[in-house]
Structure 1
Amino acid sequence: MAVVVRMLLSRILALIPLLLGVILFVFIVMRFAPVDPALAAFDGANATAEQLQQFRLENGLLDPLPLQYVHFVWHLVQGDFGTSVITKQPVGETIATALPLTVQLTLLGLVIALVTALVLGVTSALFRDRWPDKLIRVVTLAGVAAPAFWVALLLVQWLAVGQGLFPTSGYVSPADSFGGWLNSLTLPAVSLALPVAAQLTRVIRTSMVEELDKDYVRTARGGGLPPVVVVGRNVLRNALVTPLTVLGLRVGYLLGGAVVIETMFALPGMGQNMIQAVTDGDTAKVQGFVITIAIGFVLVNLIVDVLYLIANPRLRSHA
């Protein structure tokens, strides 16, 4: 446990410069974007040059860029993401409203991807080079090549429009109806999950095959241990170490894919709000959304690093 705590602290310290770099990148991109927050605030109409200049002065837009960056980071540390120039509301309030939906969609997609990848990956490895393995490999190859938005279009056409099993858009809160919530998020979550499941399936299959070929597996089988015990207790646990490293990156894909999927299904999450903020030229909102997603991605990878350490005793002995 002490080793895990030490590693966690070292990872957190290493993430501080990374987060500052991400914030700096977002800050610079937004400052050099062809969008004037002053014009966006006045909607480009009925604003005199004096009013625009006064707005820039009051919001620190005329300060040197290094000073603007320091002020920006200082406000972020205090949980202040700024104020929308369009709605005049704190960006943090919008994030607090939109983020739970994006987290729900991402977690549901992750669960679907993991369950699917485990079933297909283990089955493919156990039936290596036989017809189940060949079929799964073909299916996963197609899944890897299929982008999430294309999968979403097919699912909407087939299951929503064609069969009427799911709604084409909209969101129901789990507090109002769990069944309605699950129904409204199933197609978006499956659209996100299938490409990730295909990639994880191939990684799990490869890890399982490598593990099944090791001497301890042959010894256990020769000793009369049931295959279920050998695979479930030893092979699967050891084989999942490598897929854990891939999982963190795939969660980042889910977060990024949610931007497109939420827009397609009219879900009021981070993605749809970000697209609307870009359209409106609301730089404060865009900055807040991008930084929140980046922080989420970094935290997920931190959790995956810790899980990787816990799952691999050899790393704990050298940490």
Structure 2
Amino acid sequence: MSAVARILLRRLALLVPLLLGIVLFVFLVMRFSDVDPASAFFQGADPSPAQLRAFRERNGLLDPLPVRYVHFVGDLLHGDLGTSALTRTPVLDQVATALPLTLQLTFLGLGIAVMLALVGGVVAAIHRDRAADHVVRVLSLVGVAAPAFWLALLMIQYLALDRGWFPTGGYINPADSVTGWLRTLALPALALSLPVAAQLTRIVRTSVVEELDKDYVRTAIGAGLPPRVVVGRNVLRNALVTPLTVLGLRVGYLLGGAVVIETIFALPGMGKLMIDAVQNGDPAVVQGVALTTATGFVVVNLAIDVLYLLVNPRLRDSAR
């Protein structure tokens, strides 16, 4: 078995207890919250104590907590996230409808952040302590200090309302219009990505500068290789190890930031689903969104680990 396969299997083995821990945490938080599932189910009506008790008995709400947790995990393994108290529809159906938009927004923002960070970080490192480096540093500092929701409001004001270049909100499915889809997600993705891009730019710059100072770079350039070839083939590949590690953590920020951004731009994704569920007292939906988001964060970090293995041969060699 190859070193990559062994490390990947080790990561997958750790994934099971991690996911069980996430499920336990969400389960306990929801069970000790002030929201009563029985009262939420009958909201808008005036149920009798007998009706409330019958609902709790039917759904196992009177069972001991360990028993309820076992049933909860069993339902999850069968793809059952519960039923919405508000719409009386399966939570899984609502999540399946909202999740694609959140994934589109998150990965579009991630792509923009990575592209800006690579360009800005490499340019700043190559032109170290010169004008381009100073400009990138100032812009990255501003980006780190600017919250995503503030950037979103500025973009709506100056790019949507004043100039009309983009819509102020709403969503168009890419199957209906790719151009319309890009226009509706351009501002949300940009607002979500700029703080992440600013942080990654500083890390990419530092990593590339450290790599440029190594002996093999000076030897390669002294041997007559063009600097762009050395940077593209060797420096950038080795310098991406540290930014990749940070990128895995930033995906969680993007998923969390999508909650606020989707609310600002009226996008019907997981964030809006969560906010509506909290406001309407729908615990099953809150629980389903929290579990799905946390699981997505863990899976994306596993994918980042695989990329980390691919760009870091030293880690593969140490596992042999």
TM category (shorter chain) comes to: over 0.9
**Partners of 2:264 and 2:66 in 1: how far apart?**
38
Which segments of structure 1 move beyond 3 Å, counting only runs of 4 or more?
none
Match of 1:41? 41
Question: How far 1:2 sits from its partner (Å)?
Answer: 2.2
**Partners of 1:223 and 1:9 in 2: how far apart?**
42
- Taking the TM superposition and a 5 Å limit, the aligned residue runs for 1:213-228 are 213-228=213-228
Q: Does 1:268 align with 2:254?
A: no
Match of 1:93? 93
**Partners of 2:286 and 2:126 in 1: how far apart?**
47
Q: Does 1:147 align with 2:147?
A: yes
Q: Does 1:57 align with 2:57?
A: yes
Q: Which amino acid aligns with 2:132?
A: P
**Partners of 1:176 and 1:125 in 2: how far apart?**
42
Q: Does 1:2 align with 2:2?
A: yes
Q: Which amino acid aligns with 1:152?
A: A
**Partners of 1:44 and 1:181 in 2: how far apart?**
37
Gaps of 5+ in 1: none
Match of 2:121? 121
Match of 1:27? 27
Match of 2:193? 193
**Structure 1, residues 235-287: CA drift from partner, whole Å, max 9, x if none?**
11111111110111111111110011001111000000011111111111111
**Partners of 1:71 and 1:146 in 2: how far apart?**
44
Match of 1:295? 295
**Partners of 2:48 and 2:114 in 1: how far apart?**
56
**Partners of 1:300 and 1:266 in 2: how far apart?**
25
**Structure 1, residues 35-82: CA drift from partner, whole Å, max 9, x if none?**
111111111532111111111111111111111111111111111111
Equivalent pairs, count: 319
- Taking the TM superposition and a 5 Å limit, the aligned residue runs for 1:157-236 are 157-236=157-236
Question: How far 1:131 sits from its partner (Å)?
Answer: 1.1
**Partners of 1:231 and 1:307 in 2: how far apart?**
20
**Partners of 2:190 and 2:60 in 1: how far apart?**
44
Match of 2:74? 74
Q: Provide the secondary structure at the position in 2 that maps to 1:165.
A: coil
Match of 1:112? 112
- Taking the TM superposition and a 5 Å limit, the aligned residue runs for 1:270-289 are 270-289=270-289
**Partners of 2:182 and 2:44 in 1: how far apart?**
42
Aligned-pair identity (%):
67
Match of 1:13? 13
Please, what TM-score do these two structures have when normalized by structure 1?
Answer: 0.98
**Partners of 1:159 and 1:141 in 2: how far apart?**
23
Match of 1:134? 134
Root mean square deviation of aligned Cα: 0.9
